[in-house]
Amino acid sequence: MTHLTANSMAELFAGAVTLAKSGEKVSPRGMATREVRDVHLLLTQPRARLLYAPPSRIVNPAFAVAETVWHLSGSDASWIFDYNERLRQYADDGVLLGAYGPRMRNWAGKVDQLARVVEILQADPDSRRALIQLYDPVQDSSGHKDVPCTLGFRFHLRVGRLHMATTMRGQDVWIGMPYDVFFYTVLHELVAGWLDAELGEFHLHVGSMHIYDEHVEQADALTSLSASPIMPDLRTPWTGFASLLAQVEARDVTGHPGWDAMAETLRSYRLWKDDKHEQAWRAADTIDGPLGQALTAWYGELKRRSAKRAATSGAR
């Protein structure tokens, strides 16, 4: 097993990309890929979760926020496509059947696994049974397009610190990893808050860590990165959590500074999608902290892509 340890997402990402590029060439489903098997990544500061690595890799922070809210609220609703249209290619009849939310919050229509984790650790802080299972062999052997890459989560409360481990069958480091780790570590922080525990280490165990050949040239341009900044505190009481998520989804003010930044990120992005670009820029400028910086960079990337498409079209 290969081990990588980092203090922030930027450092973790850079190490994972370098590792994946050196991997063995394989082609699952006919897609040329470089793969390293059995990798363990350790993020010592989970709140340093947002990747900011321009110009080589610029993430859409609005999608990171939206996907996190979507998962946490237990949803498989189609509004997520408003933040990432490419997800539609994995949908069956308009629904992502591998969505984590329903499995996490309403497994088989019976169990809120997230609530159960909190109950278990409140009753027995040393428990080894605080688990969330996502992969379902009954559903996921049926041939639908969207099969979860994430198998599940484990939580260990030790000496007042909550440690979390995620197990994945596969991790695409270039496209998926920045968004996955954002969600995982928000979940980690929230559970720690509900247990009145300090935030411990975040572990990521990956069966196949890989990068697609089409992204290697971009990855080669990745230079040294500054450490990811610490994001604002997102801890919030369990009572009222569902309502808070609904407010963020609706892009409303919540009264919680960290979650208000999340809601404002979504509001700004919707303005951009509605072609109100100047308003979107101004809204992004008002968002304090890493999300505002990342959103401004994303708008710059969208503008660059639009200009490139226009130039290509004009040359025909």
Q: Rounded to whole angstroms, how far apart are CA atoms 207 and 72?
A: 24
pLDDT score for 310: 77
Please state the pTM of the whole predicted model.
0.96
Q: Rounded to whole angstroms, how far apart are CA atoms 269 and 174?
A: 22
Q: Rounded to whole angstroms, how far apart are CA atoms 99 and 75?
A: 8
pLDDT score for 311: 75
Of the candidates 42, 34, 6, which has an alpha carbon nearest to the alpha carbon of residue 166?
42
- SS3 at position 304: helix
Under-70 pLDDT residues of the chain: 313-316
Q: At what angle do helices 177-194 and 61-72 cross, to 10 degrees?
A: 50
3.30.572.10, 3.20.20.150, 3.40.50.300, 3.40.710.10: CATH of 2-232: 3.30.572.10
CA distances to 123, 125, 131, 219 from 192, rounded to whole Å, are 15, 12, 14, 34
By residue count, the chain amounts to 316
pLDDT in tens, 147-169: 999 999 999 999 999 999 999 99
- Domain spans of the chain, in order of start: 2-232
pLDDT score for 214: 95
281 and 46 Cβ atoms separated by less than 8 Å: no
Assign residue 284 a region: left if phi > 0, alpha if psi is -120 to 50, beta otherwise? alpha
